[in-house]
Copies of this chain bind each other. A is one copy, B any other.
Amino acid sequence: MKRVGFLLKVREKYIEEYKTHHQNVWEEMKSALVRHGWNNYSLFIRPDGLLFGYFEANESFSDSLTGMSKEQINTEWQELMSPYFEILEGSDPDQSIVELEEVFHLD
């Protein structure tokens, strides 16, 4: 198991819409996440839209991302989410993620 921390940035004007979508994540999307080891997965937001993600991957962040990248439902979800994020033109949110380094852990 590998604990993963990552950051994204939601555009400030879309924060409320982003939150509403995340109260209603598609069941098929959640099943895909579970299949690819996004375990105990939480997202937290700062009032300006900085978004922090935490989950416990089976193997690694890149394995979990690669697994999702092959799921059609994830392609559709990322297309829906794409306008909400501050990202480079033409890339999707999964490619603008910043992985953080774990510096401490206590069980």
Q: Which residues of A pack against B, CB within 8 Å?
A: 3, 5, 7, 18-19, 22, 25, 30, 33-34, 38-46, 50-52, 54, 98, 100-107
Contacts and interface: CB of A to CB of B under 8 A. Distances in A.
Given A52-B52, A52-B100, A106 B46 contact: no
A41 to B, nearest CB: 4
Given A5-B44, A30-B106, 10 more contacts: A19-B103, A22-B104, A40-B106, A41-B106, A42-B54, A44-B102, A45-B100, A45-B101, A45-B103, A52-B52
Contacts of A106: 25, 30, 33-34, 38, 40-42
What is the count of identical protomers in the complex? 2
B102 A43 contact: yes
Given A5-B52, A52-B5, A54-B54, A44 B98 contact: no
Contact of A5 (B33, B54, B103): B54
A104 B46 contact: no
